[in-house]
Structure formats: C-alpha cells, structure tokens
Chains A and B, each alone.
Chain A
Amino acid sequence: MNQFIEQIIYGIQLGSIYALIALGYTMVYGIVKLINFAHGDILMMGAYFGLLSVTLLDIPFGLAIVLSMAVCAVIGMLIDIIAYKPLRNAPRISALITAIGVSLFLENIYRVMFGAETRKMVIPTSLTQTIAIGNIKISYVTLLTVFLTIICMVALQLVVKKTKVGKAMRAVSEDQQAARLMGVNVNLTISMTFALGSALAALGGVLYSVTYYQVEPYMGMMPGLKAFVAAVLGGIGIIPGAMFGGYALGLIENLAKAYVSSSWSNAIAFGILILILLFKPAGLFGKNVREKV
C-alpha cells in the first residue's frame, strides 16, 4: 500500500511539470490557433537561465526562478514578434513550420553557446532533504514542485477570469476581428499570452532540471512533446483541460512504469491518448463544434 501511495506521489510530481508546460501550449493555441513547437525549448532556456543565475550571479534559488521566468517571458514575446506575427494572416501550416524552425534554431544556438555536454544543475541542499509522513518519504523537491504548480494554476485562473488582460485574452480567442472592433489591442494581448505561457514553461524548466539534475540543449524535446499530448488530451485551447491532461499523463506514465513495464510506459501513455481521441476527438474537456457551412 505504501509503495502504491509513493508511486502516486511521483506521478503527481511528474504530472505537475507536464501541466505547467501544457498550459503554455494550450493558451497559445487558444488565442492564435498555433501549435508552438518551440515551447519545449523555452523550458530548456528556463533551465539554463536558472542554472546560470545561480552559478554566475550567485543569487538565491528562489530569486533565480523568478529571474528565469522573467527572462523567458521576454524571450517568448520576442519569438512571437519576430517569428509568428508576420505570419498572422498566412495559412496555418506556414506558422506551424516556422514553429518547428524556431525550435531547431533555439536548440542549436544553445548547443553552440553552451556545448552539447550535459551540465549538472545546482540544487540547494535544503531541497534534497526528505520528510517522512508515516512510512512514506517525500523529498522537498517533490513538495516544492507540486506546491508551486498549484499556486501558478490558481494565479493563472485569476488572471484569465478576473483581470482586464484576461478578459481581453478571452475576447481575442473567441473572435479576433470582433475584439479589435471593441477596442482590444490584439497584438499586445497575444504578446501577453506568449509571455505568461513562457514564464510557466521557464518555471517548469527549472523544476524539471532540479528533479532530474541535468541541463542540456535538447532537454526540452521529450517533456515538450508529452506536454503537447497532455494539452490535446484535456482538449487543446482549454486551460483546465491542460491541467487535467498533465496530471493524468504523469500518473498514467508512472503507474505503467511501476506495474507494467518501464520500457512500455511511453507506448501505454500514448496508446491511451489514441483511445481517448477516438471517442472524444476534441479532448476530454473539449466540445465538438460543428463547422458552419
């Protein structure tokens, strides 16, 4: 029984990181209908900035997280302005190809700048401790990951539901033309969305590198892909869907590893995705919208 609870906890930890990244995918898709394949690489950059600010600037870990999120938010906006904005009215496939290009560009520029070798993340010693609840040991990294993720999700919900920016976001995602007519600054709103999504990915990146000790230029690929799957699973474009999808994927993956087979876990996770999409093509939280003729 203890072992089962431990497996669930590890699944939640993994799911938290997927959920953080999935939120960025889903927000960007919701507002510009673009699958931003460079999102996983924002996670990678977040991890590098976290590592660099701890080693070079010698600032406390908490501050490093905030700095990394801020820098990535700016980079996210820049990527949108430089790469995606000129293609706003182009066919969707062009923007998609551009996103893949941006992803490859970022991976390779980081490889050139920092080398291909894996660097070890600096982890504050306080985080490597564990606390025992009954017979179950939980590390502080796990607690911190779950805690920060939940805070960010609540904050994001508040921003989207209660603030003016959030209202503008919802308006733009519903109908860009109408929102523009109502006086909403569409481009600024889209930039804000990229900034928010990228900041969450940066947080995910720092937490991911603390959980798995390592930072390297291609580290964003696999979690990026998994988070994309999580976003689709929950219904892409829907914020609670991304959160649910992230946790569901993390749990399924971990339980498959624990009770079926480690080498089959990815196949099982993606297999379940295919099954769900067969029955609910718009994702678990999505609504089937009929095309108007």
Chain B
Amino acid sequence: MILKRVSAIAISMLMAVSMAGCGAKAPSNEGEGASVATNGEGTIKIGLITPKTGSVAQYGIAVDNATALAVKEINEAGGINGREIELISYDNKGDATESINLFNRLVDNDEIVALLGPVISSNALAIGPLADEKGIPMITPTGTSLDITPGYDYVYRACYTDPYQGSIMAKFANENLKVKTASILYNTGSDYSVGLAEAFKETFEAAGGTITNYEGYTADDKEFKAVLTNIKAGSPEVLFIPDYYNTVGLIAGQVKEVGLDTIMLGGDGWDGVQENYGELVEGSYFVNHYAADDTAEIVKNFVDNYTEMFEGTRPNAFAALGYDATKILAAAIEKAGTEDKAAIKDAIAATDMDCVTGHVTFDENGDPQKSVTILKMKDGVSVLETKVQ
C-alpha cells in the first residue's frame, strides 16, 4: 500500500516534470524558429512498438525499417521545426502484455510525445485505451481490426479497416469485373477473414449480385477439395478468399485440382502470395495498400530509398504503412508547433496529405479515408490494376 503510494507520487512527479519541460520548450522553440539546431534536450521523442522477434517478426521488421527511413529523411531535411526526431524503438514480440509494459516504459521513463505502433491488431487493441487515457497520440500503421479506433480520441491508424477492404473488393467485382455471381470461402476462426467476408457479402448483394456459396473452414484445415467441389456446382464467376497468403496458396492449388474455373479475389493478407504461389493465383485480383510498380513520384521515391537503405529488400505494404504513419505524425507535430499532446492529436485529425498509400484524410473515428489499390497477378508478379475510391 505504502509502496503503491510512493510509486504514485514518483510517477506524478515525473509527469509534472515532463509537462513542465514541454511547456518551457515549446514557446522558446516557436520564438527562435527553424534556425535552431538541436540543443541539449531538443529532440522530439517518438516511441515505436513493433514485433521484431516471434512469429509476426517479418511484419514488425518491415514497419521498423520504414519508420527508420522516414525519420532519417525528416532529420536530414532539417527535422521538425528545426528539431530532430529521436525514435525510441522497442520489441514487443507480438505479445499484448509485453506491449503494455513497453508502453508504460515509453511514457514514464522515456517521456515520449507520441507513439507509433503496435503492428498487429490484438496488440493495438491492448494499448489503444491506455494511450487514450494518458493522452498520448498514437498511430497504429497496420492494426486493421474495426474496434481499435472508435471511442478513443487519441488513437488513429494509417491502414483501412477489414470491412472497408471487403466492401471495396465487392464493389470492384461488381463495377469493374461486371460479375453477378460470387462465392465466398472464409476462415471462421479469424476475425480478419470473417470481417472481410461479411462486408463483401453485404456490399455484393446490395449491388444486386448473388452469393452462390458462403462457406467457412477452420483455422487448421488443409483439405478444401470437398468444399471446392460444392462451390464448383454453383459455378460462380468469382471466388473471394479473404485469408493470409499461405492458406490462399493451399486453396488456390486445390481450386486448380478440382477444376474450378473462376477468378479468385482476396484482401491485403494475400500480399506475399507472389513469392511461392504466383502461378497458382495467375489472373487473380487482390486489395493492397500500395503497388510497388506505381509510377507516382512519392511511391517511386519511397521504393527507391527503401531498397537502397536496406540493401535490396523491397518494401511490402507493411513498410509503406509504417512510412506513412511516421510522415503523418511528423507533419502533425510540425503543424501543431508544440509538444502539447492535445494539439498534436487535433493536428492528426486534420491531416490532409498525399502519402505512399494514397491521399489521406481521417474520419471521426480516426480511420483514414483513402483510395484502395487493386493488384492483378500477371505472369507470377502483382501489377497495379486500378485504384478504387
């Protein structure tokens, strides 16, 4: 009990000191303008929580790399209002509890101004309420679960939500491919898959289309020939498979085996299918956050700089979103002109800028409104098909 009180006092003192620091710094900076070089405590501290080890490490490393690139670019261009960004990056191993510990450390010890991350939805769901409570502006680059942002003023994301991409794909099938019948095969054990499947179904039916089969499977299923044979009997023009690329590869192979002749559609979980299963998903379309072969200036620069900094590694969608999240946050801090967290939050909400993953503005929940990139698999690689608003 006593210990608790002591630590509470210690924390409140720390916070008081950090706030006093903010208050003192901001005006002095405003007064001296952009010419000021970094003074003793002149850096702007931004926290970053990503999984750099563990089963989702590849996502975390991509975001981590891209954030480092964005910070380097900003600092080389003179920083934010003349002050450099200091990125404090921790590894949460993809674990929610670990994320909370790291968040507390970033806020209490490192005294960050704002937070980037976490990468996966379950971690973002754990931290979002805390960030809101403590008033730390937070942008998760890639947490797609619907529940991350609503009701939390300080929580934003750089990616679109699961239902959003599901309904965009349905719209694309209906308007661009002009198909009237579709089947859906989804993973009943994954919120991501269910979210996309439901949104696709709703939008497709609302547009006058027919869903011939709406079939679920469980997470560790490997045998799909039975259910695909049933789908074949309904002869749908398209088959929507919202799952991650390894399962998609598995299903796509069996689609060929049972002789189901249809166009396959998917969500952003497909990104990666190009590497091993290119020939199995030839002619398919999937939603993604950006296309590496996009000729837009901002995308080209990003791809070139990333490839150069990380020795030939091509940036994936996670990297693009990590980069965008950093740029959005930096722009907001610059616009706020202070380290006041409420002002930064308001500046993020007012974002209106061109990013690698499209032109971004935020809705009242903190979800971005932007165009969705649709890729087509052609000769084993994904190419930009169109952008749907």
Q: Which of A116, A212, A253, A261 contacts B55 (CB 8 A)?
A: A116
Q: Report the count of interface residues on A (CB-CB < 8 A).
A: 28
**Distance of A74 from chain B, by nearest CB (Å):** 28
Give A105-137 as 1s and 0s: 1 = Cβ < 8 Å from B's Cβ atoms: 000000000001110100000001010000001
Interface status of A139 (Cβ within 8 A of chain B) = yes
Residues of B within 8 A of A3 (CB): 229-230, 232-233
Q: Which of A116, A128, A214, A258 contacts B229 (CB 8 A)?
A: A258
**Distance of A98 from chain B, by nearest CB (Å):** 26
Q: Which of B55, B226, B232 contacts A262 (CB 8 A)?
A: B226
Q: Which of A10, A130, A214 contacts B226 (CB 8 A)?
A: A10
B237-274 CB contacts (< 8 Å) to partner A: 246, 249-250, 253, 256-259
Residues of A within 8 A of B276 (CB): 120
Interface status of A23 (Cβ within 8 A of chain B) = no
B217 lies within 8 A of A213 (CB) = no
Q: Which of B232, B253, B257 contacts A130 (CB 8 A)?
A: B257
Interface status of A185 (Cβ within 8 A of chain B) = no
| Between-chain CB contacts (< 8 Å), 17 pairs | A3-B233, A6-B229, A7-B229, A10-B223, A11-B226, A14-B223, A116-B55, A117-B58, A118-B246, A120-B249, A130-B257, A137-B259, A213-B253, A222-B220, A254-B225, A262-B215, A262-B226
**Distance of A33 from chain B, by nearest CB (Å):** 30
**Distance of A23 from chain B, by nearest CB (Å):** 20
**Distance of A264 from chain B, by nearest CB (Å):** 9
A263 lies within 8 A of B188 (CB) = yes
Residues of A within 8 A of B90 (CB): none
Interface status of A85 (Cβ within 8 A of chain B) = no
A254 lies within 8 A of B217 (CB) = no
Residues of B within 8 A of A257 (CB): 223, 226-227
Interface status of B218 (Cβ within 8 A of chain A) = yes
Residues of B within 8 A of A176 (CB): none
B223 lies within 8 A of A214 (CB) = no
Give B209-226 as 1s and 0s: 1 = Cβ < 8 Å from A's Cβ atoms: 000000111101111011
Interface status of A266 (Cβ within 8 A of chain B) = yes
Interface status of B277 (Cβ within 8 A of chain A) = yes
Q: Which of A14, A118, A137, A213 has the most CB of B within 10 A?
A: A213
Q: Report the count of interface residues on B (CB-CB < 8 A).
A: 28
Give A220-259 as 1s and 0s: 1 = Cβ < 8 Å from B's Cβ atoms: 0010000000000000000000000000000001110110
**Distance of A114 from chain B, by nearest CB (Å):** 14
A251-280 CB contacts (< 8 Å) to partner B: 253-255, 257-258, 261-263, 266
Beyond A262-B215, A262-B217, whether A213 also contacts B227 by CB under 8 A is no
Residues of B within 8 A of A263 (CB): 188, 216-218
A188-235 CB contacts (< 8 Å) to partner B: 212-214, 222
Residues of A within 8 A of B259 (CB): 130, 137
Beyond A130-B259, A263-B216, A263-B217, whether A254 also contacts B226 by CB under 8 A is yes
Tell me the complex Cα distance, A11–B58, Å. 36
Tell me the complex Cα distance, A257–B216, Å. 10
Q: Which of A14, A139, A214, A257 has the most CB of B within 10 A?
A: A257
**Distance of B151 from chain A, by nearest CB (Å):** 32
In the complex formed, the residue of A with least CB distance to B232 is A3
Tell me the complex Cα distance, A130–B259, Å. 9
Q: Which of A10, A11, A258, A266 contacts B218 (CB 8 A)?
A: A266
B215 lies within 8 A of A213 (CB) = no
**Distance of B319 from chain A, by nearest CB (Å):** 18
In the complex formed, the residue of A with least CB distance to B57 is A116
**Distance of B136 from chain A, by nearest CB (Å):** 32
Q: Which of A10, A214, A262 contacts B221 (CB 8 A)?
A: A262
Nearest 10 CB-CB pairs, A to B?
A: A257-B226, A258-B226, A120-B276, A10-B225, A212-B222, A118-B246, A263-B216, A262-B227, A262-B217, A254-B226
Residues of B within 8 A of A117 (CB): 58
**Distance of A261 from chain B, by nearest CB (Å):** 8
**Distance of A219 from chain B, by nearest CB (Å):** 8
**Distance of B230 from chain A, by nearest CB (Å):** 6
In the complex formed, the residue of A with least CB distance to B245 is A118
B250 lies within 8 A of A213 (CB) = yes
Give A78-98 as 1s and 0s: 1 = Cβ < 8 Å from B's Cβ atoms: 000000000000000000000
**Distance of B179 from chain A, by nearest CB (Å):** 23
- Known contacts A3-B232, A7-B226, A254-B225; 4 additional CB pairs below 8 A are A118-B246, A257-B227, A258-B230, A262-B227
A120 lies within 8 A of B223 (CB) = no
**Distance of B217 from chain A, by nearest CB (Å):** 5
Residues of B within 8 A of A14 (CB): 223
In the complex formed, the residue of B with least CB distance to A117 is B58
Residues of A within 8 A of B249 (CB): 120, 213-214
